[in-house]
Structure formats: C-alpha cells, structure tokens
Structure 1
Amino acid sequence: MFDLKDRRILVVGGSSGIGLGVAHAARALGAAVTIASRDEEKIAAAVAAIGGGARGFALDTRDEAAVAERLAAETWDDVVVSAAATRAAAVRELPLADAYASMNSKFWGAYRIARAARIRDGGSLTFVTGYLAVRPKKGAAIQGAINAALEALARGLALEFAPVRVNAVSPGFVDTPLWGAKSPAEHAALVERIAAGLPAGIAGRPEHVALQIVAGIANPYLTGSVTYVDGGGTIA
C-alpha cells in the first residue's frame, strides 16, 4: 500500500489537469502538498479543493530568476513537474516564435525546476511528458520532440542527481480542461471515439496518471524510468 505520510511534495502545474490529480492523490495518501502555477485564482480554488492544509504559490517556470529564488526557500521530499503551455501545428505552419515558446515552457521550464529545486536524498523528481515521444503524430512534431527531450533529461538526471530519484511518466490522451473548448456533445463523442480505439477500452483521466506518479514517488527502487500511462495507445 502506498504511504506518503508527512512527505513534503511540490506539484508544479498543480492547479488543474494531471497536476491537480497528483495533488489530490498525494494528499489522500498523507502527504503535505504544495502546488505552484501561474494563475493565482486557480491556485486558490485548487488549494481549497485539495484541503488538508494544502498550500500554493504563484510561479512562472519561464522566469529563471523567480524559479531560482522561490525554490531556494524550501526543501522538498518530492517534486512533480506537469506545467506546460505548448502549441501544435505542422512544422512549416507553426511560427518559430511559438515553437520556441513551447520548448521554453515545457522543456526549459522543467529544466529550471530541476536545476533549482532542493530535494532531499532519497526523494524524487518526476516529469510529466507524453507518448508522442514514441508515437509520432502528424502536425505535432514539436510536442513529440519536447517530450523525448524531457525523457532523455530524466534519464541523465537520474545519474547526476542520485540518490535523488528521477523519472518520467508519459500519458496518452487524458481528459482534462485542455479539451474543454468543444461543446459537451462534441467532447463526449471525442472521448468515446478515443476510448474505442484503445486496448484498455477507456479514455484516460487525471487520476489514472496520478496513480502512476504517486506509485513512482513511493517506490524507492524506481529511477531513470519512463512509464507509459496511455491505455495501450503506444501499441494500438
């Protein structure tokens, strides 16, 4: 049984989606949870929903000085990085500025967190990546490249940061607010179609990915690993 009692866990990107799922799961297992994201209103709402003394603070992972200053103030048992703002389009259609911004947010943002975070020996650092690293999709080459870079970074840091453990969790489709622009009927049809095409027969939800992340946090023998939580999407 997982037990994260009294572990101090920071979830960067913890105000929504997968990050919020991780925060809920970690708190349910006894952890002292802190979330960070850019939107203070979302932070306040998430902290209230998580309960149990959860805390939150505003942080823009694109701001090197702010990341270094804020993360120097505390030591954590575990850090999870799920914050990202990326755009997908065909390489010849995506403006270079948007490609740079996507890399800056997801890859360099995680790199800055890894560089600045103070994590105790035996603790862990987890990156949320994505299965496009190994299952390319037309029109999303930049996202696949970013995810692959993050997974390579996780493996390298597992050696460099030891005895801190470093892993990546790679989701497939996850039903989060990122998909909320469609009408309810369109959204339901999308989820049904994706579920029908997966060996697991269901579409992913934040709690599915969160379960794997907290398992990795709790497992002292796991480091340098990339775990796919995709309903079988990489083999479908």
Structure 2
Amino acid sequence: MSSRCDVRFKAMDSKFWGAYRVARAAKIPEGGSLTFVSGFLAVRPSRTSVLQGAINAALEALARGLALELSPVRVNTVPPGLIATPLWSKLSDDARDAMFEGAANRLPAKRVGQPEDVANAIVYLATTPYATGSTVLVDGGGAIA
C-alpha cells in the first residue's frame, strides 16, 4: 500500500471512525449532547480535497443516524469554514495574511472565522435541548459565495 493510501486511511480512521468510537464509548447522560466537528468541504467539495469532503459528509450523516439511535442523547455537527488557527502557522506571515485577506474578500461575512465562532456554535448545540441531528454551518457564508 502506498504512503498516499495510508494517509487516506488514517484520515478516515481518525475523523470518521474516531467519532464513531467516541459515540459508542461515551457515557452521555439522558438529554446530554455530543457535537462533532466536520468541515466545510462536506458542503462545498473541492477538486483537490475530494476524500476530505467525503469524510466530512460521512461524519455529518453519522451524526444524524446517531441522533436517532442514541436518543434522547442529542447528536449534532458543526462544519467550520476557514478558521484562523495555528494550522496555518507553517505559512509565512505574508502568505497567511494574503490567504486570509483573499478569503475574507470572497466571503459574505467579509472576514475569516475565529476559534470562538466555532465554539459558539458548539455551545449553542450543547445548550439547546431541541437541537438534534442538526448541522450548524459556521463558514462566513462560504457555502453560498
């Protein structure tokens, strides 16, 4: 098996199967909440990131199914768009700033996301007893841009 194939299997194992295993092992009280973080590529795939988009979409489908299976535990998903995190620290400051500026100009929100934007969506889902099987997109409008 090639190293490229290994990376693909590791991505599926980590993101999808990892979430599945957590859902199975977690001791969540009745009425509790489990929220997965998928990704924007589930909603708006990329030619260069087909597998990642499929994994994220599978994670969102898993959450909907688990919302039925684990009820009354609530299961939801948050797919973030471009978020300014240390993930981008390998880029030079100029390249990162240019990427963020270009993305912000294309987004209806006119800015890139911050970690607290994703955290707010997770808190909303965790504290809203009527939200289950839901996907709350936090992408600055990227899915419609």
State the TM-score, normalizing by the size of structure 2: 0.96
5+ residue gaps, structure 1, are 1-92
Higher strand share: 1
Name the count of aligned residue pairs: 144
2:44 aligned residue:
135
Q: What do you get for the CA RMSD once the two structures are aligned? A: 1.2
| 1:35-54 paired onto structure 2 within 5 Å | none
Q: Distance in 1 between matches of 2:130 and 2:63?
A: 15
Q: Distance in 2 between matches of 1:131 and 1:192?
A: 18
**Aligned with residue 77 of structure 2, among 164, 168, 192:** 168
1:150-196 alpha-carbon deviations (Å, 9 max, x no partner): 00000000000011000001111111111110111211111111101
Higher helix share: 2
Following superposition, the deviation at residue 146 of structure 1 comes to 0.5
State the TM-score, normalizing by the size of structure 1: 0.60
1:14-61 alpha-carbon deviations (Å, 9 max, x no partner): xxxxxxxxxxxxxxxxxxxxxxxxxxxxxxxxxxxxxxxxxxxxxxxx
1:198-227 alpha-carbon deviations (Å, 9 max, x no partner): 001010111011111101111001000111
1:108 aligned residue:
17
Q: Distance in 2 between matches of 1:177 and 1:106?
A: 19
2:138 aligned residue:
229
| 1:138-217 paired onto structure 2 within 5 Å | 138-217=47-126
5+ residue gaps, structure 2, are none
Greater relative CO (CA pairs within 8 A, separation 6+)? 2
Following superposition, the deviation at residue 136 of structure 1 comes to 0.8
Q: Distance in 2 between matches of 1:112 and 1:158?
A: 15
Q: Distance in 2 between matches of 1:227 and 1:216?
A: 8
The sequence identity of aligned pairs, in percent, is 58
Structure 1 residue 117 corresponds to structure 2 residue 22:
no
